[in-house]
Amino acid sequence: MKVSVIGLGRAGLPLAAVVADSGFEVVGVDLDERKCEMINRGINPIPEEAGLDELIKKHAGKNLIATPRYEDAADCNVFVVIVPLVVDENYNPDFRILEDAFRNVGGILKRGDLVALETTVPPMTTEIMAKGWLEEESGLKLGDFYLAYSPERIMTGYSISRLKEFPKVVGGVNKESGIKAFETYKKFIPNLHLVSSARVAEFIKLIEGCYRDVNIALANELFKIASELNIDFYEAREYANHEYCHIHLPSTGVGGHCIPVYPWFLIKEMEKKGKFSHIELLRTARKLNDEMINYWAEKIVLECMKINKPLNKVKICIKGITFRKGVKELYHSRNFALAKLLVEKGLNTFVYDEMLGREEVEKLGLKWIKPNEADVVFDTFELKTQVLRR
Amino acid sequence: MKVSVIGLGRAGLPLAAVVADSGFEVVGVDLDERKCEMINRGINPIPEEAGLDELIKKHAGKNLIATPRYEDAADCNVFVVIVPLVVDENYNPDFRILEDAFRNVGGILKRGDLVALETTVPPMTTEIMAKGWLEEESGLKLGDFYLAYSPERIMTGYSISRLKEFPKVVGGVNKESGIKAFETYKKFIPNLHLVSSARVAEFIKLIEGCYRDVNIALANELFKIASELNIDFYEAREYANHEYCHIHLPSTGVGGHCIPVYPWFLIKEMEKKGKFSHIELLRTARKLNDEMINYWAEKIVLECMKINKPLNKVKICIKGITFRKGVKELYHSRNFALAKLLVEKGLNTFVYDEMLGREEVEKLGLKWIKPNEADVVFDTFELKTQVLRR
């Protein structure tokens, strides 16, 4: 068995390293030539990923080879596709990267090969789109090859331990594909579960995201109510939570590539079918989370009004604009959106972020400041406003 | 220390029994004279409550006395109020039972006594209403007596073990009351936590209910989506759930005295303050759960259409009309509501429930049937429709 991992990003590279560490030859394909060179020289491009350095040093250039060329993976018999699925501003997925990956795999696909998709996708992407691309390019028919879906469940920073311990599911587009994929993945994923179809496996990943999004929305709503009643939400949450109660943490909303996107895959699928009554809670949660920046903007303005200066002269520092603390990523960051909203309102808004330098902030069209030089600092991760000058 | 428990219902009696079993004299007050007599003779009026029989036999008529007269509790120094708070059809609480209990306690209240409320109530009921009633009737002022809130967290059938093991919180309307209540409760509740106020303790109970209601709504919504995509929701749920994901079970909605009521306490409080944007998710979840009967009615009709009879002649059996399996309670039962909805639609609807006899069903204005005599059976707890005749 020789495995090709298509896409050596935050999810793909840890997987490739774990497969290599399980004793298999791995060919990682990534269009970024420089990244491939780095990996082949034993340099880990994701140093914040615990345990990855070690695996890269041990296997890179030996049984883990990175390459920008699909033909280098031609002798592989397992292809794991784990490339990004980007969405446009209306959350419509842009399948071009995915299609390109599958068509390229199709070009080198042989009888008996297994293709597995790990990217989170709208329902039925594997059985309809991926199958179509592979069949078109390879001239083979499903049955000649196997096709399955197994959602990545990594969490940036903990990917290696997740792959080694966390439950992972796999489902085939037909029965044989499910069995084949289960037997294959079992060789490098210890905690593996076979589900009845690729479609179920796709759905599993999406509903996990919906659970998160709705529960963050609930935490945000309860936080607002608590604040109105002069109740410390965090104290109430601490004692409300137990074995059967899992109230999440409030926030400025939900950012990143995952949670804010996945509910839309189900929402749009239902809208296509005219089933608007099937997505009321998912839509409300999305709206509520996205609107949290308005709530916080109002809170910040109320603090600014305590300062003896015209409102538009008060120096506001938004501390933390990445979507998550410690992750240098602005995609759908509500913290970044909050800073932009305050600027739009005509407030004298500055930004500070420990992951971003002054120049990087300025390139985003925002003003940079050290927090202690501002009049009011809003910490987006702690949800705390501090008035430094009256 | 001598303890009076006001209200010997499903929550009050197990508590009274546990306090008695902890070695304290207990006077239980309940207006139902016959129930008091039963208890004093050692007969448990809630036989389905595991472990209660034993405690009643051991303590009733000895250190646990039940009485309909408040004056019999005059020498108690701890009063725990745990009477029902009923709501009208618009979920507005009717405080009369609660007020009556507090005014009666006020009538026998002495300096240094502790009064604790356990009934789930709208925020600030303890600090405003309960305090007012006690002060008016006793002529004492808070400070002369102590007042606290400690929400019951029992679950019918498991109340004794819940009291002995489950975390319980208590908060005072002032600091001294909190400490006094904590020290008192600690003598019979092992897993006890003091929170900063009665208001926080009230809120804790309400948000637990909101978590449940919203997550049941989410399960119902995801169930509808899964069904639309021909996915087995239960299979997906089984593998989606893990340490960080707790997708609940779908249902015909949410019934009983608790979960469907508590979100309204927060919704109405926010509406009074004009904060309509603070309750969007709670309202959507309530609506979604209440509307599930329409979804199921449609599914049942679709099954009926498979039968070779005029639609209004098909014998439909709704199996299970209590709000929860094994609990003889119809309050806000969506299963009962579903049966009535089908009748209203002009369908030939019958009912069967293992907790209710034919006469009890007929008294409710519904027709009774043995499931195997119907053409179509819908099991409200299993959410399964069975066609028995074509």
The domain containing residue A364 runs over which residues?
A: 292-387
Which candidate, B245, B118, B166, places its Cα nearest to that of A242? B166
Reported residue count of chain A is 390
Query: Which residues 246-305 of B are in CB contact (within 8 Å) with A?
Result: 246-247, 266, 269-270, 273, 275, 277-282, 284-285, 287-288, 291
Q: For residues A2 and A16, what is the distance between their CA atoms, to the nearest angstrom?
A: 11
How do residues A213-244 score in pLDDT, each as one tens digit? Answer: 999 999 999 999 999 999 999 999 999 999 99
Q: Residue A156's pLDDT band (boundaries 50, 70, 90)?
A: confident
Q: Does A121 touch chain B (CB under 8 A)?
A: no
Q: Does A307 touch chain B (CB under 8 A)?
A: no
Instruction: Answer yes or no: are the C-beta atoms of B361 and B320 closer than 8 Å.
Output: no
Q: Residue B48's pLDDT band (boundaries 50, 70, 90)?
A: confident
Q: For residues B143 and B214, what is the distance between their CA atoms, to the nearest angstrom?
A: 39
Question: Would you say residue A205 lies in a domain?
Answer: no
Q: For residues B368 and A129, what is the distance between their CA atoms, to the nearest angstrom?
A: 52
A244 and A148 in a common domain: no
Q: Residue A157's pLDDT band (boundaries 50, 70, 90)?
A: confident
Question: Would you say residue A341 lies in a domain?
Answer: yes
pLDDT at B154 over 90: no
Q: Verify whether the Cβ–Cβ distance B231 to A266 is below 8 Å.
A: no
Greatest distance between any 2 Cα atoms in chain B = 75
Q: Residue A155's pLDDT band (boundaries 50, 70, 90)?
A: confident
Place of tokens 């207990």: B26
What confidence score (pLDDT) does residue B377 get?
98
What confidence score (pLDDT) does residue B157 get?
83
Q: Does B46 touch chain A (CB under 8 A)?
A: no
A276 and A132 in a common domain: no
| Overall domain count for chain A | 3
pLDDT at B144 over 90: yes
Q: Residue B337's pLDDT band (boundaries 50, 70, 90)?
A: very high
pLDDT at B277 over 90: yes
Place of tokens 């210890």: A190
User: How much is the average pLDDT of A112-121?
Assistant: 98
How do residues B193-224 score in pLDDT, each as one tens digit? Answer: 999 999 999 999 999 999 999 999 999 999 99
User: How much is the average pLDDT of B75-89?
Assistant: 94
User: How much is the average pLDDT of A94-103?
Assistant: 97
| CATH classification of the domain holding B333 | 3.40.50.720
Question: Two tokens at A280?
Answer: 């009321």
Q: Does B199 touch chain A (CB under 8 A)?
A: yes
What confidence score (pLDDT) does residue A117 get?
98
What confidence score (pLDDT) does residue A154 get?
86
- What are the beta bridge partners of residue A319? A352, A379
DSSP string, B222-257: HHHHHHHTT--HHHHHHHH-BTTB------S---SS
Give the Cα-Cα-Cα angle A259, A265, A269 (nearest 5 degrees).
Answer: 155
Contacts of B221 in chain A (CB under 8 A): 278-282
Domain boundary among B196, B224, B239: B196
What confidence score (pLDDT) does residue A257 get?
87
A278 vs B215, B224, B277: nearest CB: B224
Q: Verify whether the Cβ–Cβ distance A280 to B282 is below 8 Å.
A: no
pLDDT at B389 over 90: no
How do residues B220-261 score in pLDDT, each as one tens digit? Answer: 999 999 999 999 999 999 999 999 999 999 999 999 889 999
B232 and B179 in a common domain: no
A225 vs B208, B231, B278: nearest CB: B278
Q: Does A344 touch chain B (CB under 8 A)?
A: no
Domain boundary among A267, A288, A309: A288
| CATH classification of the domain holding B249 | 1.10.1040.10
Place of tokens 């306690």: B105
What confidence score (pLDDT) does residue A283 get?
98
Question: How distant is the Cα of B140 from the closest Cα of chain A, in angstroms?
Answer: 28
Helix (H, G, I), strand (E, B) or coil at B105: helix
A301 and A279 in a common domain: no
B92 and B225 in a common domain: no
Q: Mean pLDDT over all residues of chain A?
A: 96
B115 sits in which H/E element:
strand B114-117
B281 and B302 in a common domain: no
Lowest pLDDT segment from A162-166, A173-177, B136-140, B361-365:
A162-166
Question: Would you say residue A201 lies in a domain?
Answer: no
A204 vs B218, B239, B285: nearest CB: B239
Question: How distant is the Cα of B219 from the closest Cα of chain A, in angstroms?
Answer: 9
What confidence score (pLDDT) does residue A316 get?
98
Question: Two tokens at B212?
Answer: 């449940």
Q: Mean pLDDT over all residues of chain B?
A: 96
How do residues A23-48 score in pLDDT, each as one tens digit? Answer: 999 999 999 999 999 999 999 999 98
A109 and A219 in a common domain: no
Domain boundary among A169, A196, A223: A196
B29 and B164 in a common domain: yes
Q: A335: which residues sit within 8 A by CB, 6+ positions away?
A: A252, A255, A318, A320, A321, A322, A323, A380, A381
Number of H helices, E strands in chain A: 13, 15
Question: Two tokens at A182?
Answer: 């289960």
Interface predicted TM-score (ipTM) over 0.85: yes
Nearest CA in chain A to B226: A203
Pairing type for strands B316-319 and B349-352 reads parallel
B225 and B177 in a common domain: no
A39 and A140 in a common domain: yes
Q: Does A221 touch chain B (CB under 8 A)?
A: yes
User: How much is the average pLDDT of A328-346?
Assistant: 96
Q: Verify whether the Cβ–Cβ distance A228 to B285 is below 8 Å.
A: no
How do residues A188-212 score in pLDDT, each as one tens digit? Answer: 999 999 999 999 999 999 999 999 9
DSSP string, A156-223: TT-HHHHHHHS-EEEEESSHHHHHHHHHHHTTT-SSEEE-S-HHHHHHHHHHHHHHHHHHHHHHHHHH
pLDDT at B327 over 90: no
Query: Which residues of A are the active-site residues?
Result: 205, 258
Supply the DSSP symbol for A371.
G
B118 and B32 in a common domain: yes
B325 and B185 in a common domain: no
Give yes or no: B370 in active site.
no
Question: Would you say residue A204 lies in a domain?
Answer: no
Question: Two tokens at A174?
Answer: 């037909």
DSSP string, A89-129: TT--EETHHHHHHHHHHHHH--TT-EEEE-S--STTIIIII
Q: For residues A269 and A96, what is the distance between their CA atoms, to the nearest angstrom?
A: 19
Q: Which of B36, B76, B210, B258 is catalytic?
A: B258
- The structure's pTM equals 0.96
Question: Two tokens at B369?
Answer: 């049937």
What confidence score (pLDDT) does residue B15 get?
97
Q: Which of B168, B180, B205, B319 is catalytic?
A: B205
Pairing type for strands B349-352 and B367-368 reads parallel
pLDDT at A318 over 90: yes
Taking one residue from A and the other from B, the number of pairs with CB-CB distance under 8 angstroms is 159
What confidence score (pLDDT) does residue B343 get?
98
Q: Verify whether the Cβ–Cβ distance B284 to A284 is below 8 Å.
A: yes
User: How much is the average pLDDT of A89-93?
Assistant: 88
pLDDT at A108 over 90: yes
How do residues B96-107 score in pLDDT, each as one tens digit? Answer: 999 999 999 999
Nearest CA in chain B to A218: B281
Give yes or no: B224 in active site.
no
Q: Does A56 touch chain B (CB under 8 A)?
A: no
Q: B174: which residues sit within 8 A by CB, 6+ positions away?
A: B142, B143, B147
